[in-house]
């Protein structure tokens, strides 16, 4: 791995973390609305609950963006992506790979966002593991 690859991936992950911090409260409202979890912002605790799952959101985005960028850069290093079709195919494969990595974290994020209790990432993983 060269320094340019590490720079590109770290820059993309950093931007992903910033975007998570900015969009997370809106995402919590969306998830709660979709699951019919009526949330009314009447007091400070309701506003604070908009940060539920922030760590899971950051974990999801960093794993998704990081794996997507690593996969794309790896494909690009092995193949000469000169045509638009080659770039589309490489992007599709790297996106599919990233979905395999990021989807479990997405499920964890939604479960935490939809829960007003203090739930941790490890407790969600343990509950899912027990379900089998």
Q: Looking at residue 25, what is its pLDDT? A: 84
Across 41-57, average pLDDT: 70
Q: Looking at residue 99, what is its pLDDT? A: 93
Q: Looking at residue 41, what is its pLDDT? A: 55
Q: What is the pLDDT of residues 30-39, one digit of tens each?
A: 877 777 666 5
| Residue labelled with tokens 């494969």 | 93
Contact 47, 41 (CB under 8 A): yes
CA distance 67 to 60: 11
Neighbours of 111 (CB within 10 A): 18
- Is the entire prediction scored with pTM above 0.75? no
Q: Is the dihedral of CA 79, 83, 87, 89 positive or negative?
A: negative
């Amino acid at each position: 791995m060269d320094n340019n690859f590490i720079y590109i991936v770290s820059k993309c992950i950093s931007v992903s973390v910033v975007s998570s911090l900015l969009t997370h409260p809106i995402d919590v409202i969306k998830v709660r609305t979709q699951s019919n979890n009526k949330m009314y912002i009447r007091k400070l605790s309701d506003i604070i609950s908009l940060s539920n799952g922030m760590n899971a959101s950051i974990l999801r985005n960093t794993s998704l963006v990081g794996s997507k960028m690593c996969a794309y850069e790896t494909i690009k290093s092995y193949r000469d992506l000169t045509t638009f079709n080659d770039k589309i195919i490489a992007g599709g494969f790297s996106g599919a790979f990233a979905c395999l990595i990021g989807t479990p974290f997405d499920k964890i994020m939604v479960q935490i966002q939809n829960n007003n209790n203090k739930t941790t990432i490890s407790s969600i993983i343990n509950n899912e593991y027990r379900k089998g």
